[in-house]
Amino acid sequence: MLDKLYKRFNLKNGIRVVTENIPYVNSISIGVWIEVGSKNENKINNGASHFIEHMLFKGTDSRNAKNIANTIDNIGGHINAFTSKECTCYHVKVLDSHYKLAIDLLSDILLNSKFEEIEIEKERSVIMEELSMYEDSPEDLAHDMLSQTLYSNHPLGMSIIGTRNSLSDLDKKSLLSYMKDYYVPENIVISVAGNFEEDRLIEEIEKKFGGMEPSKKNGQKIDEVTYNFKQVSKVKDIEQTHYCLGFKGVSLLNKKKHYPLLVVNNLLGGSMSSRLFQKIREENGLTYSIYSYPSIYKNGGSLN
């Protein structure tokens, strides 16, 4: 059934393309997914994946930062990006008639970004403020502390944003070197959903992304998670206590236990009818917010 909904292609250089044609809409969404995130980092370059994501919107050989924003805004589209522990994604949504422009812009920022020193310094300051924002949010801070503690013996414990020390040391040379290692065809999937003509779409993607050369290096091997169970705390001058519990979960590749864990999560704290919500909030009125969620990665996971 799923094979009828979407199609898979491979560009000549190995980039994978997944498409789903939705002929009754007048838009198209395109995502470029790179298999690189904080789990590929170490204490020295922690935050590099996220830093690069920011820098790709700071200017290319033919567009400055304002031009990049205006290119999509002027046609009523939307462009953004995000970094996670396992991947980085650049995505755009436009009217289907503008698909060539969207593909051109995505390929431009991925292949031709300039990484000017002045822009790196400005963005370093922006990311430092982003880090402060998370530190000022006790809920976000609690989740970060949980992840860093539970996976403290594994790269999954690395902060996505990075630390003040690691961010201070990242420079143009280290960012470009990191990007060269991971922004390679074998790590890239391009996903497309919307209204399009298949042949023309694939031809345009091949035209813009086909010039990327495959890596000559072997992919980085990430070990299975070894968990670290202990209690950590941080005192802040606020009105509430934010409390997180983390339990050993399953990896994304463990299909036998992956889906049952999702069911367990829904029963435990994944909805308003869940046991935690009904017992702690509805029956006893002890809290405003209580929930559970699974963190599921290729190399391990947790139920929190």
Give the pLDDT confidence of 107-146 residue by residue, as tens digits: 999 999 999 999 999 999 999 999 999 899 999 999 999 9
**Beta-bridge partners for 32:** 90, 190
Q: Which of 13, 138, 130, 137 is nearest to 83 (CA)?
A: 130
| CA-atom Rg of the chain in angstroms | 21
Q: Kindly tell me if the per-residue pLDDT of 264 is higher than 90.
A: yes
End-to-end alpha carbon distance in the chain:
33
Residue 218 has pLDDT above 70, yes or no: no
pLDDT score of 176 more than 80: yes
Closest CA to 187 of 28, 13, 52: 13
C-alpha–C-alpha distance, residues 82 and 53, integer Å:
7
The model's confidence at residue 272, banded by pLDDT at 50, 70 and 90, is: very high
Pairing of strands 88-95, 188-194: unpaired
H or E element at residue 29: strand 27-34
Q: Which of 20, 35, 41, 53 is catalytic?
A: 53
CB-based contact 249:260 (threshold 8 Å): no
Average pLDDT along the chain: 94
Bridge-based pairing state of the strands 16-21 and 188-194:
parallel
**Per-residue pLDDT at 217 exceeds 90:** no
- The pTM of this model reads 0.93
2 pLDDT above the threshold of 70 = no
Per residue in 16-31, pLDDT (tens digit) is 999 999 999 999 999 9
pLDDT at 146: 94
Ranges for all domains in the chain classified under CATH 3.30.830.10: 2-209
User: Taking a C-beta distance cutoff of 8 angstroms, is the pair 50, 160 a contact?
Assistant: yes
Answer yes or no: is pLDDT of 170 > 70. yes
Name the DSSP letter for residue 40: G
Q: Rounded CA gap, 255 and 40, in Å?
A: 24
Q: Would the pLDDT of 281 be above 80?
A: yes
Under 8 Å between Cβ of 292 and 268: yes
Environment class of 285 (CB within 10 Å of its CB; exposed 0-12, middle 13-18, buried 19+):
exposed
Q: Is 117 a catalytic residue?
A: no
Look at residue 81 in the predicted model and tell me its pLDDT. Answer: 98
Is pLDDT above 90 for 219? no
Percent of the chain with pLDDT over 90: 86
CATH says 2-209 is which class? alpha beta
